[in-house]
């Protein structure tokens, strides 16, 4: 498989405080990868560096074969990287339909691009609430909207930071089903989440970080076969 994203020896700091110490990660075209670890270990900083929101000190990030670690966030987004951020960050005073339309674009030149109808088919609840304002939605509906909004850009890579954090169990299942559908359609995905049992069913490769360093990387088969890794690096 062709690498869509390659991160090599990424180091990032906030002022004098270094947070990332040589993160390496690879996502194949059409593949699903995860970034795992406890809170405060550098996962979100990795995403911010990847998206151009927090400049890295050193290391390389290649996306679609081009180095992007010195590009602006808007340039990286236009290249086809879309994020579902922690906290969702939808527009509270825009309707569901307006939130989706605001991000419409065919960045991967798809012959079957994401549209309102396709998003509504993926998330029927959003169709029912198309005229509701963002601040009138439940947390689960807001997460569905955040995913749909990212898909409306028709990205090459979809990044989900804390994909199911704070959601009710039934809503989490909706999100997992959505991600499985996207995977079957060939969407490349990077997922940050803590539910390892579901991630080993969904993803191809996993990277675990602790205190800003990669402590383990491997396949779903390897991670699923060694629950001690879950407790050592991911469990509370």
Phi, psi for residue 219 in degrees, rounded to 5: -85, 170
The token pair at 102 is: 């605001």
Band of pLDDT at residue 1, cut at 50, 70 and 90: low
pLDDT, one tens digit per residue, over 136-177 is 999 899 999 999 999 999 999 999 998 898 888 999 999 999
Quick one: pLDDT at residue 109?
Answer: 78
8 A C-beta contact, residue 47 and residue 18: no
| CA neighbor of 133 nearest in space, from 168, 90, 170, 166 | 90
Whether the full predicted model's pTM is greater than 0.75, yes or no, is yes
Mean pLDDT of 117-134: 94
pLDDT, one tens digit per residue, over 35-79 is 999 988 999 999 999 999 998 999 999 999 999 999 999 999 999
pLDDT, one tens digit per residue, over 73-102 is 999 999 999 999 887 788 899 999 999 998
Is pLDDT above 90 for 29? yes
SS3 of 33, please?
A: strand
The token pair at 8 is: 């090599």
Quick one: pLDDT at residue 34?
Answer: 96
Quick one: pLDDT at residue 120?
Answer: 95
Q: How far apart are CA 186 and CA 29, in angstroms?
A: 8
Is pLDDT above 60 for 121? yes
SS3 of 80, please?
A: coil
Is pLDDT above 90 for 132? yes
Q: Which residues contact 171 (CB under 8 A, 6 or more apart)?
A: 138, 139, 140, 143, 164
């Amino acid at each position: 498989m062709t690498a869509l994203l390659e991160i090599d020896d990424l180091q990032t700091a906030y002022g004098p405080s270094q947070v990332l110490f040589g993160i390496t990660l690879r996502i194949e075209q059409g593949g699903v990868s995860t970034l795992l670890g406890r809170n405060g270990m550098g996962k979100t900083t990795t995403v911010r560096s990847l998206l151009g929101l927090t400049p890295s000190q050193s290391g390389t990030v290649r996306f679609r074969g081009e180095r992007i670690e010195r590009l602006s966030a808007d340039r990286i987004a236009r290249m086809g990287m879309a994020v579902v951020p922690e906290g969702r960050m939808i527009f509270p005073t825009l309707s569901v339909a307006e939130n989706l339309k605001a991000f419409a674009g065919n960045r991967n030149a798809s012959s079957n691009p994401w549209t309102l109808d396709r998003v509504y088919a993926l998330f029927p609840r959003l169709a029912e609430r198309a005229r509701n304002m963002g601040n009138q939605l439940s947390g689960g509906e807001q997460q569905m909207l955040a995913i749909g909004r990212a898909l409306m850009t028709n990205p090459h890579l979809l990044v989900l930071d804390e994909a199911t954090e704070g959601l009710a169990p039934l809503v989490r299942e909706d999100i997992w089903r959505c991600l499985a559908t996207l995977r079957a359609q060939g969407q490349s995905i990077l997922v940050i989440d803590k539910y390892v049992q579901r991630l080993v069913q969904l993803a191809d490769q996993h990277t675990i970080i602790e205190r800003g360093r990669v402590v383990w990387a491997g396949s779903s088969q390897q991670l699923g076969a060694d629950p001690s890794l879950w407790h050592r690096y991911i469990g509370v």
